[in-house]
Amino acid sequence: MRRQDAVTARMIAALMRLERAPWPAARPAYAAMLTALAIRCEAQPAAVAEMYRWLRAGLASALAAGSGDVRKARREALSVVAAEIAGLLHACRASLDRARRPNLMSMLGFQVRRRARDLLVVERRYHARFGGSWDWAPPVVGARAERMTLVAEVVRMLDTGEPDDRALLLVAQGHSIAAAARRTGASRQAIYRRRERLRAELEGDSDA
């Protein structure tokens, strides 16, 4: 299959090489490449398409496994993750851990599986209440762009390196508060307090 964006493909390949390089020495270069890739995905639809192609190839076995409903949900979830890829890359960059080597495919694959489970829950509830099938439509372009902008802004607000900020980014990626606390050393109470402060900051910005 012909690559849709050779520049993005080279950036992905560079990230994969950095994941195999000595860690944490490679962390600054890896973080910079994640940011560059996120910015490219914000600006270039072809870059998003290339990320979709890369994810589809890397998650081929997961996309082909399970029942028909599960496969359908994972395909739809992959489209959603691709649509939100810039924000997810920003979040991955901000949550990099010096003590833990990153695996971008694994992190994004987790997002696909989590969102597929959410789609299945909604589908089953809809079927139980109304009968028939719920139409899984990706978010519209305008809403998608607005969401990506908000995600990028939140990530910048939390990109401080402080344990409670890093923990909150992990929670945003789908980790439990307990797991985020274990990985970052932040207390659960600190994470809850940071979440409330962030909510207040965002609500204050919206009122401005």
Between CA 46 and CA 92 the distance in angstroms is 21
Highest mean pLDDT out of 66-80, 98-112, 143-157, 163-177: 98-112
Could you tell me what percent of the chain has a pLDDT over 90?
Answer: 35
Lowest mean per-residue pLDDT among 65-69, 71-75, 110-114: 65-69
Confidence of residue 151 (pLDDT cuts 50, 70, 90): low
Whole-number Cα distances in Å, 22 to 26, 64, 80, 100, 102: 6, 33, 33, 11, 11
User: Does the predicted TM-score (pTM) go above 0.75?
Assistant: no
Q: What are 28-34's contacts with CB under 8 Å, separation 24+?
A: 30/96, 30/102, 31/93, 31/96, 34/89, 34/90, 34/92, 34/93, 34/96, 34/104
Report pLDDT digits (tens) over 83-99: 899 999 998 998 898 88
**Distance of alpha carbon 36 from alpha carbon 14, whole angstroms:** 12
The larger pLDDT score, comparing residue 160 to residue 148, is at 160
Q: Residue 11, class by beta-carbon neighbours within 10 Å (0-12 exposed, 13-18 middle, 19+ buried)? A: buried
Per-residue pLDDT tens digits for 4-59: 789 999 999 999 999 999 999 999 999 999 999 999 998 888 999 999 999 999 99
Q: Which residue has the higher pLDDT, 44 or 170?
A: 44
Residue 97 main-chain phi, psi, to 5 deg:
-115, 130
Per-residue H/E/C for 74-105:
HHHHHHHHHHCHHHHHHHHHHCCECCECCCHH
pLDDT at 135: 47
Check residue 81 and give its pLDDT. 92
Instruction: Report the C-alpha gap between 115 and 41 in whole angstroms.
Output: 20
| Residue bearing the bigger pLDDT, 48 or 128 | 48
Q: Is the pLDDT of residue 160 over 80?
A: no
Average pLDDT on 149-156 reads: 63
Task: Check pLDDT > 80 for residue 181.
Answer: yes
Residue 107 pLDDT grade (very low, low, confident, very high; cuts 50, 70, 90): very high
